[in-house]
Amino acid sequence: MTTAATTVDCLGLACPIPVVRLARAVASVEVGGLVELLADDPGARVDIPVWCRLKDQQLVAQLDRPEGGWVFQVRRSH
């Protein structure tokens, strides 16, 4: 099932804001829904995957943005 992703733009924002906003966004989508987070804080590169593991949410992909930073695709799994 493919659903339109909710995009959360955290470019230029330092931790913990990207994690806080990801948590909010994941809670706001349906189970199975996709959140796409943009971030360029080095802390986010470490903390977003760790948060997904801690919270048992699915990190579908982590891609480098050509402009700098990363795109994290997170699917709400429960």
Residues at the interface with another protein (CB under 8 A): 9, 13-17, 19-21, 23-24, 41-43, 45-47, 49-51, 53-54
- C-beta of residue 5 within 8 angstroms of C-beta of residue 22: no
- Minimum distance, C-beta of residue 66 to another protein, in the bound complex (Å): 21
- Minimum distance, C-beta of residue 59 to another protein, in the bound complex (Å): 12
- For another protein, the closer of residues 1 and 4 by Cβ is 4
Strands (E), 1-78: 6-10, 34-39, 58-64, 70-75
Number of helices (H) and strands (E) in the chain: give both, helices first. 2, 4
Could you confirm whether 15 is annotated as catalytic? yes
Q: Which residues are catalytic?
A: 15
